[in-house]
Amino acid sequence: MEKVLLIDDDEELTMLLTEYLVEEGFDVSAAHDGRAAIGEATSGSVDIVVLDIMMPHMNGIEVLQRIRRLSAVPVLMLTAKGDDVDRIAGLNLGADDYVPKPCSPGEIAARLRAILRRAGRYAPAPEVLRAGELVLYLASRVAEWRGKPLDLTGTEFSLLEILARNAGQLVPKQDISKRAFGRALTPFDRRIDVHISSVRQKLGAREDGQSWIQSVRGQGYQLLQNY
């Protein structure tokens, strides 16, 4: 079981990401202070580090510098969206990859597996998720529907993965928001509805005219079984 160290001062995000990664088969520990986490990151007991750039006291770039002086442990950076300066600085200092925030737990898990494979390590998680005629390749985040490629955005893939893992069951919107966006659902937040509407169009209608994704008003969504 690969050991992941999360270094991020956002305690809510860290808790949600920890829950998701544990379900995906990782062993996870978390630290909310970069300076205090350097020792654990370089101890040899960690397989990979997820490091947020924006932290108080000592930012992620400084933490990465300290880590690289002592260890070659793989590091996945979390950067602010569109912040090329931090991204480039981190990669130049030896970060293995980066993900701009906000990001889905599913994308982070996929990046972690990719980095671990490149480092010659194996992350024990299913590579392919099937729900009837829907096939999701989790590592590459590629989808197929009825034998043909399904063009999805990153967010759409994350939402469809959540529904496919629970095919035939209602998934509460609060759970979807936490797993797809790493945040609790807030009042008047329509992001899930907008993205689900797009996925529905891409899947098309069932033979009976119904959508493959059913909704229960105010509660959640369900991917219907097709076998």
State the CATH number of the domain containing residue 78. Answer: 3.40.50.2300
Residues 133 and 72 in one domain: no
Query: Would the pLDDT of 215 be above 50?
Result: yes
pLDDT at 226: 64
Mapping DSSP to helix (H, G, I), strand (E, B) and coil, where does residue 126 land?
coil
Structural domain of residue 199, as residue ranges? 128-223
Residues 16 and 77 in one domain: yes
- Which residue, among 77, 67, 11, has the nearest Cα to 36 in the 3D structure? 67
Mapping DSSP to helix (H, G, I), strand (E, B) and coil, where does residue 20 land?
helix
**Total tally of structural domains belonging to the chain:** 2
50 neighbors 5 (Cβ within 8 angstroms):
yes
77 neighbors 64 (Cβ within 8 angstroms):
yes
What average pLDDT does this structure show over 187-212? 90
At residue 171, what are phi and psi to the nearest 5 degrees? Answer: -110, 120
Is the residue at 174 inside a domain? Answer: yes
Is the residue at 183 inside a domain? Answer: yes
Is the residue at 26 inside a domain? Answer: yes
Cis peptide before 102 (omega within 30 of 0): yes
Residues 203 and 141 in one domain: yes
Domain ends where: 83, 118, 153? 118
Is the residue at 21 inside a domain? Answer: yes
Per-residue b or e along 69-102, where b marks 16 or more CB atoms closer than 10 Å to that residue's CB? eebebbbbbbbeeebeebbebbeebebbebbebe
pLDDT at 120: 74
Residues 18 and 53 in one domain: yes
Is the residue at 105 inside a domain? Answer: yes
Q: What is the pLDDT of residues 39-79, one digit of tens each?
A: 999 998 999 999 998 888 888 899 999 999 999 999 999 98
pLDDT at 123: 46
Is the residue at 78 inside a domain? Answer: yes
